[in-house]
Amino acid sequence: MADEQKAARVDPGKPEYLYLQVVDHIAGEIAKGSSELGTRLPGERDMAQQYGVAVLTIRRAMKELRRRGLVVTLPSRGIFIRQRGPEDGS
């Protein structure tokens, strides 16, 4: 997923919030199976740079992904993909 994220940029001209654009991209990559379950996501600063947004935008996106049950945060370890989504039956 890291390669796709490097190319991913948000469009500030869209009416959708930037954090939701990040959420939609990452959720889409998870649903497509671009990354295996348990894969560690890049750090917040790296993701902010990859998406061209502020670190706070990434934090808000990660909070939403956690709320949706797609990722899990392990203290001192990072953020990991938890499941692909409701359509995969997990």
pLDDT band at 1 (very low <50, low <70, confident <90, very high): low
Residue 90 belongs to a domain: no
CATH number of the domain within which 36 lies? 1.10.10.10
Total domains present in the chain: 1
> Which range of residues forms the domain containing residue 60?
2-85
List pLDDT tens digits, range 14-68: 989 999 999 999 999 999 888 788 999 999 999 999 999 999 999 999 999 999 9
Reported pTM: 0.81
Give the per-residue pLDDT at 67.
Answer: 97
Lowest model confidence (mean pLDDT) among 41-45, 47-51, 75-79, 80-84: 80-84
Residue 67 belongs to a domain: yes
Residues 41/29, Cβ–Cβ less than 8 Å = no
Residue 26 belongs to a domain: yes
Residue 57 belongs to a domain: yes
